[in-house]
């Protein structure tokens, strides 16, 4: 077996597992964050569910350290009260990013299993563990049962040849891989990394790369820990580690060789992490702000790189540099080493540990038309504010903050760029029980949205994440998807959405499913779905189905057509044009959950 199969077999009571097999997996560490935690608690209380093992159950408040938003503060306090009553450990607003805490404190070990209401929970691949982001219903079920169903994914083996160029950072490796594979060529795969250049990667570098597996559409990016990484981990939490390895004769769906010596320093253009260019193509673009942090680049090695560049220098006039360490322990180490003083002397804003701008709840957000250079993992339109976000490495961000424009360490000008005058300025949780019908055949008007990689910020933007009442969600559906901002006003109950590849890429937010339920949409049919989104929809008993690309041509589908869909047989009929075809029907698991009205039904 390969690495993912080993881990899932070890946690499901199976001697062997194979791709496509659905298994019930015991979860070693179960986490809810501050924006999803209140809904997790609501689900448990309203369904009279108790905790399986409180000692393996945690809250991590990393989205809005400080509770600066009233709804975040209310949700955090609600979760604290539940934690007190149920002996749950809370890593509160002073602790840092939950996934990093899980790694550094040994909450999850190599070969272990981890779930969280964090779409970057697959960062556990950095230590050879299985991690998955989930919606609040999934997490509620795991908290109550101690396990979750998973479909064993196919695996890809990436073999890296050549020598890593001196100027190529871990972030550059991630962006180069995004440039190669885009957002969906690794969709649904578990990806294992091998080669001499990989063996040389530090723990912090592995965390950076694994953190961006979600942006590649992968289930997880898995690294087998080296002796050096094992010693690093054991020094952090004091626990003895036993590493899980893939078998020598492990089977992979694909084995791909990559020459790392060809990698170049790259930047992701605003809008998509996979829209990547070599840095010379964007060099000297003026920036308004810069950000170093997030679960991708808030580690000690990242701060050390920034401090070495910023020491004795000043941030360019008018440029705002925001630095957010990923954990409080890293913050304290940076303080002890004098890095915090270097940052402050340079003119940077240093915030307490957390997720920062990614979660719209802490420093890192930008304003309309503001140009930001960021070390984050996502730069979807509107994700980190209303401006334009370029993604790159800590070295490039620090150098550019000093220069006032995008540049590299070896090309910082004697005098920084300055701005020119232009003459313009620019709830309380309540669940209502309802009788809901679950038809296996639906008929409705089609919205044919011919776009790939529609992410969760396009579907249901993160500025609405504090909304927990499903009745309020529908009005915000697609209001961040170009050309469909008026969708919620024009959609009618029983309408059907047909779209392209990787629908629902990005976040683990349940609202991106529930907003369609709020509008009465009958079902969504896509060529493929983001892995977390697929789970959320199935578990919420919201019908989703996938199709092969030629089917829509076969039935001559267009927006406005009336179609009929049978969830059981997969038959799809264009009633308007009297043409039929076949798409993927419900699996047994999806059918069962749908009939029960949801995972918790």
Average pLDDT per 10 consecutive residues for the chain, totaling 601 residues: 98 97 98 91 96 97 79 90 97 95 97 95 98 96 98 98 96 97 95 98 97 95 97 96 96 98 95 93 96 94 98 97 96 98 97 81 79 90 83 97 97 91 57 64 97 96 87 96 96 97 95 97 97 96 95 95 97 97 96 95 85
Between strands 388-391 and 371-374, the pairing is parallel
| Cα-Cα end-to-end distance for the chain | 35
Residue 427 confidence (pLDDT) = 43
Q: What are the C-alpha distances in Å from 160 to residues 200, 261, 263, 291?
A: 12, 9, 11, 30
Angle, CA of 387, 390 and 396, to the nearest 5°:
130
Q: What are the C-alpha distances in Å from 426 to residues 367, 442, 482?
A: 11, 48, 22
Superfamily (CATH) of domain 267-411: Aconitase, domain 3 (3.30.499.10)
Give the three-class secondary structure for 521. Answer: coil
Residue 550 confidence (pLDDT) = 92
How would you label 175-212 residue by residue, b for 16+ Cβ within 10 Å and e otherwise? Answer: bbbbbbbbbbbbbbbbbbbebebbeebbbbbbbbbbbb
Between strands 371-374 and 289-292, the pairing is parallel
Contact 450, 549 (CB under 8 A): no
Helix (H) or strand (E) holding 394: helix 394-403
Q: Both tokens of residue 340? A: 């915090």
Residues contacting 565, CB < 8 A, separation 6+: 441, 442, 443, 496, 522, 523, 525, 543, 545, 571, 572, 573, 583
Superfamily (CATH) of domain 441-595: Aconitase, domain 4 (3.20.19.10)
* Cα–Cα dist 21/15, whole Å: 13
Residue 71 confidence (pLDDT) = 81
Residue 432 confidence (pLDDT) = 46
Give the three-class secondary structure for 573. Answer: strand
For 177, which DSSP code?
A: H
Contact 347, 314 (CB under 8 A): yes
Between strands 113-116 and 89-91, the pairing is unpaired
pTM: 0.85
Between strands 147-151 and 276-278, the pairing is unpaired
Q: Map out the domains of the chain as residue ranges.
A: 3-262, 267-411, 441-595
CATH 3.30.499.10 describes domain 3-262: yes
Residue 384 confidence (pLDDT) = 74
* Cα–Cα dist 496/523, whole Å: 5
Do the domains at 3-262 and 267-411 have one common CATH topology?
A: yes
């Amino acid at each position: 077996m390969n690495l993912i199969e080993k881990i899932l077999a070890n946690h499901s009571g199976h001697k062997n597992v194979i791709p496509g097999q659905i298994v019930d997996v015991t979860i070693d560490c179960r986490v809810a964050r501050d924006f999803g935690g209140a809904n997790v608690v609501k689900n448990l209380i309203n369904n009279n569910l108790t905790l399986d093992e409180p000692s393996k159950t945690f809250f991590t408040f990393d989205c809005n350290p400080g509770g600066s938003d009233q709804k975040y503060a209310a949700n955090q306090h609600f979760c604290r009260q539940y934690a007190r009553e149920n002996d749950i450990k809370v890593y509160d607003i002073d602790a840092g990013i939950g996934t990093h805490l899980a790694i550094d404190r040994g909450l999850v070990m190599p070969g272990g299993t981890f779930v969280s209401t964090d779409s970057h929970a697959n960062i556990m691949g950095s230590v050879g563990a299985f991690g998955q982001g989930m919606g609040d219903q999934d997490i509620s079920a795991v908290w109550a049962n101690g396990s979750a169903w998973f479909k064993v994914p196919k695996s890809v083996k990436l073999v890296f040849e050549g020598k890593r160029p001196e100027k190529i950072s871990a972030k550059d490796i991630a962006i180069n891989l995004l440039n190669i594979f885009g957002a969906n060529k690794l969709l649904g795969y578990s990806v294992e990394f091998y080669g001499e250049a990989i063996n040389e990667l530090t723990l912090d570098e592995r965390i950076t790369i694994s953190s961006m597996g979600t942006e590649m559409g992968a289930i997880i990016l898995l690294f087998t820990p080296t002796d050096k990484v094992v010693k690093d981990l054991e020094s952090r939490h004091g626990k003895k580690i036993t590493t899980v390895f893939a078998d020598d004769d492990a089977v992979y769906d694909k084995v791909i060789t990559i020459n790392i010596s060809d990698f170049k320093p790259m930047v992701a253009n605003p809008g998509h992490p996979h829209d990547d260019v070599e840095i010379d193509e964007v060099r000297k673009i003026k920036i308004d702000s810069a950000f170093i942090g997030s679960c991708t680049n808030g580690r000690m090695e990242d701060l050390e790189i920034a401090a070495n560049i910023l020491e004795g220098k000043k941030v360019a006039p008018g440029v705002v540099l925001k630095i957010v360490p990923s954990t409080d322990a890293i913050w304290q180490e940076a303080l002890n080493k004098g890095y915090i003083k270097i940052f402050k002397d340079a003119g940077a804003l240093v915030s307490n540990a957390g997720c920062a701008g990614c979660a719209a709840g802490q420093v890192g957000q930008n304003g309309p038309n503001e140009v930001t250079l960021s070390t984050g993992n996502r730069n979807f339109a509107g994700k980190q504010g209303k401006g334009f976000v370029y993604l790159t490495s800590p070295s490039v961000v620090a150098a550019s903050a000093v220069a006032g424009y995008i540049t590299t360490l070896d090309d910082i000008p004697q005098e920084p760029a300055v701005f020119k005058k232009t003459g313009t300025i620019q709830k309380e949780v309540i669940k209502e029980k309802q009788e809901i019908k679950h038809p296996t055949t639906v008929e409705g008007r089609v919205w044919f949205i011919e776009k790939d990689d529609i992410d969760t910020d396009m579907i249901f933007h993160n500025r609405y994440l504090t909304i927990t009442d499903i009745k309020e969600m529908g009005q915000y559906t697609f209001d961040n998807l170009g050309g469909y901002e008026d969708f919620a006003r024009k959609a009618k109950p029983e309408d059907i959405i047909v779209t392209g590849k990787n629908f629902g890429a990005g976040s683990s937010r349940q609202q991106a499913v529930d907003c369609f339920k709020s509008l009465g949409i009958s079902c969504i049919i896509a060529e493929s779905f983001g892995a977390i989104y697929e789970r959320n929809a199935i578990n919420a008993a919201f019908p989703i189905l996938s199709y092969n690309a030629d089917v829509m041509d076969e039935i001559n589908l267009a927006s406005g057509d009336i179609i009929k869909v049978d969830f059981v047989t997969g038959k799809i009929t264009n009633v308007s044009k009297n043409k039929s075809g076949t798409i993927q029907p419900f699996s047994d698991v999806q059918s069962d959950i749908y009939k029960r009205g949801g995972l918790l039904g």
